[in-house]
């Protein structure tokens, strides 16, 4: 299994333009929440359990376990985000079918549109998951790590990633070409 540094470096190679990363700060949480909403139906409520078991629980528990194996502090933070998504997702899934589907599909579509805008307009590179499906799982972790890097968390990890793929940037070479400089 690849380490946290290897996973984040692989994903970061496809995400060096800050504007693309910015689209991911909105799009990825929307997609993750949409999955919690859409996969919260059907749900089974065993008598002794305090919550209803759904495909969303299976997905979020499995992904959280993977995040915890990669890195305990990040895994704990992702677990908190997963719990919030599951709670709100279950609430939306308990609403009318129209509300459930409109919220889930709407968030999912808008989230993916943001991702593709970031990759087409700014990064000029295909999304990471096209080459490695693990990118779908690492994306949320990457967004969390980038947010934490912005406040000075784990500078050695950030430096290790940037040593392999370079620092984030605004894709100046493309902007220069468009403006004739």
Mean of per-residue pLDDT scores for the chain: 91
Q: CA 146, CA 152: separation in Å to the nearest integer?
A: 10
Q: Is the pLDDT of residue 49 over 90?
A: no
Q: CB-based burial of residue 38 (10 Å sphere; 0-12 exposed, 13-18 middle, 19+ buried)?
A: buried
What are residue 170's phi and psi, to 5 degrees?
A: -100, 130
Q: CA 146, CA 125: separation in Å to the nearest integer?
A: 19
Note the pLDDT of residue 114: 96
Judge contact between 128 and 139, C-beta under 8 A: yes
- Indicate the range of 43-57, 81-95, 135-149 predicted with least confidence: 43-57
Residue 169 lies in domain: 4-42+53-174
Record the tokens describing residue 161, joined without a space.
């990633």
Note the pLDDT of residue 169: 83
Assigned domain for 47 exists: no
Assigned domain for 179 exists: no
Q: CA 32, CA 98: separation in Å to the nearest integer?
A: 20
Return the higher-pLDDT residue of 106 and 132: 106
* pLDDT-derived band at 47, boundaries 50, 70, 90: confident
Assigned domain for 48 exists: no
Assigned domain for 142 exists: yes
Q: CA 150, CA 158: separation in Å to the nearest integer?
A: 10
- Looking at residues 118-145, what average pLDDT do you find? 92
Number of domains observed in the structure of the chain? 1
Q: CA 22, CA 52: separation in Å to the nearest integer?
A: 34
- Looking at residues 150-172, what average pLDDT do you find? 89
pTM (predicted TM-score): 0.89
Assigned domain for 180 exists: no
Assigned domain for 150 exists: yes
Assigned domain for 129 exists: yes
Between vectors from CA 137 to CA 55 and to CA 69, what angle results, nearest 5°?
95
* pLDDT-derived band at 79, boundaries 50, 70, 90: very high
């Amino acid at each position: 299994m690849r380490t946290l540094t290897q996973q984040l470096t692989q994903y970061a190679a496809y995400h060096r333009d800050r504007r693309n990363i910015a689209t991911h700060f909105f799009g990825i949480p929307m997609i993750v929440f949409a999955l919690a909403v859409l996969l919260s139906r059907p749900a089974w409520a065993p008598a002794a359990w305090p919550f209803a078991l759904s495909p969303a629980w299976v997905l979020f528990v499995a992904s959280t376990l993977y995040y915890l194996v990669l890195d305990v502090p990040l895994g704990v933070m992702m677990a908190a985000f997963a719990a919030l998504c599951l709670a709100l997702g279950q609430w939306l899934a308990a609403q009318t079918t129209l509300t459930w589907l409109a919220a889930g599909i709407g968030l999912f579509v808008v989230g993916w549109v943001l991702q593709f805008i970031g990759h087409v307009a700014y990064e000029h590179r295909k999304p990471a998951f096209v080459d490695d499906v693990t990118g779908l799982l690492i994306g949320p972790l990457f967004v969390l790590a980038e947010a934490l890097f912005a406040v000075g968390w784990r500078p050695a990890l950030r430096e290790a990633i940037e040593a392999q793929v370079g620092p984030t940037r605004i894709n100046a070479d493309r902007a220069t070409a468009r403006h004739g400089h």
